[in-house]
A and B are shown apart, each in its own frame.
Chain A
């Protein structure tokens, strides 16, 4: 509530200055997102140095979500090119474009990052995508219009649309929200044999990741991907190869995307409350003026 009020007040000042120009200029601000959500939000720490590329997580995901089994199961050929998540594929493991210094192959799992302040949910006009208070970002298919704003809004290219269907839906990883409600881990994390996927509370996992980097400063890249990217995500990554070699965007700032539109949205009530009286004023003014000039015309005639 505090932050909301603060936001509107600031917006108002900004708005008052730019009222003629619709006053909807957004300015990036540090994300207040993490304050909106409990610190103990569920999260997964992915340590790519531990991942063996077995793709057990892919199989578990498919099974749990009743999707067709992963492509080329059990075959190394699958790593010859980089795959993406798709309508019926919620997670994929790809081989990184670089090996570790010791020459070991590196793999990276991708799926929805379950942002703390998700762009997709803020984009959705029907609340079909929704950040639940428990943490996962879930999809309500019956509400979706298929506008695909969520797809372009997501900085991680996660939501996938069933272009081939006459009644298409969005598809993406749900963080196994239902399993989590039952006290279970997400399917992928529950089967990971190497501990590369570690499920837990976000703050604790960040501590854990920091410790690993601190204790092995020569091994790890000194960065936890997802700690601040896009305002913070529930999926966190540490690695010993450069993040861009894992296929991550490294140009995402700490501002959550929805933050960029909040100012514009906050301007709505001001337009609705300021425009009408302003316009009425203009109307009265122009009417008076017209009457006055008519009056002088007539006087001129009388003369």
Chain B
């Protein structure tokens, strides 16, 4: 189908119908958009987009509860810190398949890469809302290198990795567009991109944690540790794997029409495989965190409210999902594994928020609580991310093989 269109020269109209409106006429396409989910999305955007505009017109102070005492809030803690961690599935799965040769995970490479790519893209967009002068982003990229800054390293790695993820995912886009040559080139780069992606991920996932190394005066002693970069890297792997499970579970519900019936069994097997991996890494992470606690030696603080919260994170969000994952694997219960994955993802978000918001500035005179507009901006950005994900999955061969490119992934 695609090829004939191209053979006969370019027919814009049918191209748009085919690629953008998924074979429907414009009116039919619009009608197909009238769903309850879209109504919710629309409502969020109607409220959220004006707030984003308001933020840029009147400054950060007008739209947030940030102050001189608490200059960092959820735009950093949720959009950037958590967003990047949850997007780690891309490098985790790509490494497993292309380097460790676990070919059975091939079917989830593309969804994982797409989640990763959009996760990073929207983390950067979230960052732009948080930066006072985002139009100055080219400064550290082009001419004023703050090489002594961890933030500089994070910035560069995230920027490069975004490009790498884009290239890693590009074969799907090229298949959709029917560009055979370009696709071949992109596929040929897979190994190099995967290795480069893993290098960059190792660096910036840990460096996001290294940002806090300089701030023992801000981060609560129970969370502050010289090992924070290692914690961040290891927990990003957990977050990435769990996010792939969650996203797979949701996709199978939402995009049912794109899958053929026997995909379901495969999905369960892969979910349980990932769950097993996540359980092992969580186990290691639990002991790393314990070591961090012993290293800090501040057992006295465990009896304070912050201590209770720390223990809740350690036991509730690390040890519990570790054990529950193991149980799910043992019972071969993929549904259970999906619920545990959801809990684990939440746990990583809580961890990132702890470092950057909740246990951050714990000794300051003022407490920071995000305002409505701040939360709405984050929700809006996440919503646009989900809409983009759906738009792409509906058009490009992500969950299924492209009929013209069998065995492509």
Contacts and interface: CB of A to CB of B under 8 A. Distances in A.
Interface stretch (B57-65, B81-89, B164-172, B306-314): B57-65
A279 B215 contact: no
Given A264-B210, A289-B101, A127 B199 contact: no
B131 A147 contact: yes
Contacts of B233: 21-22, 24
Contacts of A165: 59, 132
B132 A145 contact: yes
Given A153-B214, A168-B60, A258-B214, A125 B151 contact: yes
Interface string B191-206: 1001110110011011
Given A125-B151, A163-B66, A148 B144 contact: no
B227 A25 contact: yes
Contact of A163 (B60, B153, B154, B203): B60
A261 B218 CA distance: 15
A219 B133 CA distance: 49
A119 B216 CA distance: 12
Interface in A1-59: 18, 21-22, 24-28
* Nearest 4 interchain pairs by C-beta: A146-B132, A163-B61, A286-B101, A125-B152
Given A24-B229, A25-B230, A166 B57 contact: yes
Nearest to A24: B229
Contacts of B68: 84, 86, 151, 157, 160-161, 163
Interface string A148-159: 110111010100
Contacts of A74: none
Given A145-B133, A146-B132, 16 more contacts: A25-B226, A26-B213, A26-B229, A124-B146, A125-B146, A145-B136, A152-B218, A153-B215, A163-B67, A164-B58, A252-B217, A261-B210, A261-B213, A275-B195, A275-B199, A275-B202
Contacts of B40: none
A85 B58 CA distance: 23
B149 interface: yes
Contacts of A212: none
Given A126-B136, A127-B145, A265-B148, A282 B99 contact: yes
A72 interface: no
Contacts of A147: 130-132, 151
Contacts of A144: 132-133, 136
Given A166-B58, A168-B59, A146 B139 contact: no
A22 B148 CA distance: 19
B99 A271 contact: no
B353 to A, nearest CB: 15
B315 interface: no
